[in-house]
Structure 1
């Protein structure tokens, strides 16, 4: 802290803007109706505003990782297209019919649906968007399943966990893109770590589905 020294005036302004932005995000829909996109644009505008702001375009242009922003935008765009064109829903139905999930065992149902959700996440930059598209389909599948002792709520919750496996590509999650934007690693390095973690996580899901979750009556 001694080497860093006291906070500069610009750092204090950055802190105030960041706290205000977080407050607006946290209270959206409760204390006000301003969406997160609008509040973010306002905060960015304040960053560049004369006297109030903390940077100008000459500083921002060479220091912002524009490639990451474009890639993240492309990922969001792809996910939006899959939703709006109903391609994601069509793909899920084809998947269900191909593996006859309506009559599969509970373990096979969990294994196949989890694998499908992990794979389709490669085309989404947001787990929230993927959940909005896929969870209603998951609910319809488990509600129409003929297996005895199936817990629809439990299986749906487990599939929501599977959606969180956005570890393969940086664009699969906002936090992955933030890390990628530091230029300390490339996509290949990210995949070298992400693919083994995804495989380990998937195997652990299957182990728990056979043991602990089954004993608890979730699966």
Structure 2
């Protein structure tokens, strides 16, 4: 099975800007997920903590978290320098001092080598399908697991393949396929705390 090509190149500034302009208009309920992540971090961690966002895009989530949680140090990982440029424009100087931006492509075999530490929270929001085929999901989750601290949280939100959601069953997974991929990566006690309009969140905690 071949990878599913992307209709846009998010490394191109104009394409990245168009994505930024339309993302929250198309799916305003993204903010509900952002609120969930922020509340979780606030209630679970009072000391300084490390948050990694994979496929961080134009930085909406980073801005949301850094503006509200002053004990967070944030790593944004994306393959697009254009996205990072858009993201950095959203932060004030104090927020920017707690953020770092790494260029990397999780389609590459050793993508996690650029991340020379472990994290308390790893979030991939609306970017898992950028693997460009669902067959890669299990290996991706296995790699992420090595980056989590003990008791670390892994939060995966992506589009579902469903009659009322996404239709491409090579790029997107249904709920059971998401659960199977996570279980095959040895995650247990998988929760689904939020589902809105075809976006579904899966939450795991390292034992």
TM-score, normalised to structure 2, is 0.33
TM-score, normalised to structure 1, is 0.32
**Larger proportion of helix:** 1
If you compute each CA radius of gyration, which structure gives the higher value, 1 or 2?
1
